[in-house]
Structure 1
Amino acid sequence: MPQITVDHSRFVSFDREEFARGLHTALVEIAAAKPEACKTQFRASEVTAFGYDDPADGGHAVVHVTIGLLAGRTDETKARLTEAVLELLREHIEDDGAVLHASAEVRDLDASYRKFER
């Protein structure tokens, strides 16, 4: 924990390592996460559809960050964290002319959440 997933249009250009480093720092400072517990996966989507636009035009890009935390953080903490995520996206995503739709959410992991390390 935390479990972090960054889903994004394949053509979005950003420094994933620096973004993840900044995100992990925010998680430690805002949500009291342990640095060694932060894990981020980036998943590029081949096709991003927006409204009735032709996805091949590449006129719109989507980035959505999902953060799963163990229950117990206040709504205020979660909101501070999502605002920090959006600010990091502003800093690290290059402006290539496409309309960027960036979003973030923090959710509680289900009580059934378990993990192991090897």
Structure 2
Amino acid sequence: MPQITVDYSTSLDMTDSFDQEGFARALHETVVEIAAARPQACKTLFRSGSTAFAYADLEREPHAVVHVTVGLLAGRTEETKAKLTETVVELLRKHIEPVDGGLHLSAEVRDLDASYRKFEA
């Protein structure tokens, strides 16, 4: 049951530099392989939003930021989570072309809280 969220700068919406579908497919295969998730359980939500980057003037120096959060049911080792995190960043690098001004990519893998519940229809 991975709950995957990809938050990214709206500036990437204006270009073809982010292959979201290709990234999601590769990410799901990776989560199945590394974290032993079921393929049909993989879900990814892409959320576009405004970006503030340090003290840069975004008009003159636009930056793109992408952060991926992978929430897994508890039980994976720290080594598994670290390997998955590193692989997610590598996949981002393969599926996002460099953009003017800079690109910041990050990822985290965390355990879902014990209160996590879901409904599917």
**TM-score with structure 1 setting the length:** 0.94
Q: CA deviation at 1:96?
A: 2.1
Matched, 1:77 2:80: yes
- The within-5 A match list for 1:1-118 is 1-12=1-12, 13-45=17-49, 47-118=50-121
Distance 1:89 1:110 in 2: 26
Q: CA deviation at 1:55?
A: 2.9
Percent identity, aligned pairs only? 69
Q: CA deviation at 1:103?
A: 0.3
Distance 1:83 1:92 in 2: 15
SS in 2 for 1:11: helix
Distance 1:57 1:88 in 2: 28
Match of 1:2, as an amino acid?
A: P
Unaligned runs of 5+ in 1: none
Q: CA RMSD in A?
A: 1.1
Distance 1:92 1:27 in 2: 16
**TM-score with structure 2 setting the length:** 0.92
Count matched residues: 117
Unaligned runs of 5+ in 2: none
Match of 1:4, as an amino acid?
A: I
